[in-house]
Amino acid sequence: MENQIISHYFFAQALEELKSKAIDYNAVFDIAEDDFLRMLIPFTAQIEKVFEQSELTSLGLCELMPALARMALANVVYAHLASTSPHCDSYYNYCCAAMGVAVDIPFIVMGRIEGEEDEVLEVFAKNNSDAEAKFTAYLKETDTFIQEVKRRRDMGNTGEEAEPDIWLEFCKPYKEMRALSLS
């Protein structure tokens, strides 16, 4: 029963977003509302899991839905449902279009600080440049980077000369990396 309630509210929120933007549902999706709801039901378990683990449950469902949608969609991608369900891509695209949501997807980024070993990190981002920026920001917060900047400043370096170089080896969506490893 709780699954059906969550599905209903998630679906209703998507329709509400469409109506608020004066978008004709049938023109956008070219499918009936019942088909859209049927497509949503297999992913209800993922939506419910995110809902139960969310710290936002003190909000009403209407206030929670946009945040829940983003988390659920990211969770669907992260849970590798794309490889096990023929409807995942459609579900993902339809929900993103309906809610105007740019969902962060997992990227695998590998790089290093000058003179250090490579580090591999999974980051959630909208695109490659966003993933690279998050990885660079992560490296700049490490003790190694901070200590190297301090050491260089103590030696009299200023500005960009005080920061060690950061090299990025690769940045790819997790889904692409997984497909490469399976081939």
For 17, the enclosing helix (H) or strand (E) is helix 2-20
In the prediction, which pLDDT does 148 show? 92
Same domain, 60 and 19: yes
For 181, the enclosing helix (H) or strand (E) is helix 174-182
Alpha-carbon 27 to chain mean position: 27
3-state secondary structure of 87: coil
Same domain, 21 and 81: yes
Nearest C-alpha neighbor of 105 from the set 86, 83, 72, 127 = 127
Same domain, 90 and 133: no
Same domain, 82 and 145: no
Same domain, 75 and 38: yes
Same domain, 41 and 125: no
In the prediction, which pLDDT does 125 show? 83
Tokens of 139: 């490296």
Same domain, 17 and 76: yes
Final residue before a domain boundary, out of 64, 80, 99: 99
Give dist(CA 98, CA 82) in Å, integer.
19
Alpha-carbon 127 to chain mean position: 10
Same domain, 157 and 72: no
In the prediction, which pLDDT does 5 show? 46
Instruction: Order across the sheet with 119-125: list the strands.
Output: 119-125, 105-113, 166-173
In the prediction, which pLDDT does 105 show? 74
Spell out the per-residue pLDDT of the chain, length 183, in tens.
344 444 555 566 666 666 666 655 555 555 555 565 555 555 555 555 555 555 544 444 445 555 555 555 555 555 554 455 555 555 555 555 545 555 677 888 999 999 899 999 988 887 888 899 999 999 999 999 999 999 999 998 888 888 999 999 989 887 776 666 655
With beta carbons less than 8 A apart as the criterion, state whether 138 and 121 touch: yes
Same domain, 87 and 138: no
Same domain, 12 and 92: yes
Range of the domain at 171: 105-182
Alpha-carbon 76 to chain mean position: 10
In the prediction, which pLDDT does 59 show? 46
In sequence order, the 6+-apart residues with CB closer than 8 A to the CB of 181 are none
Return the bridge partners of 25, or none: none
With beta carbons less than 8 A apart as the criterion, state whether 177 and 169 touch: no
Tell me the pTM: 0.46
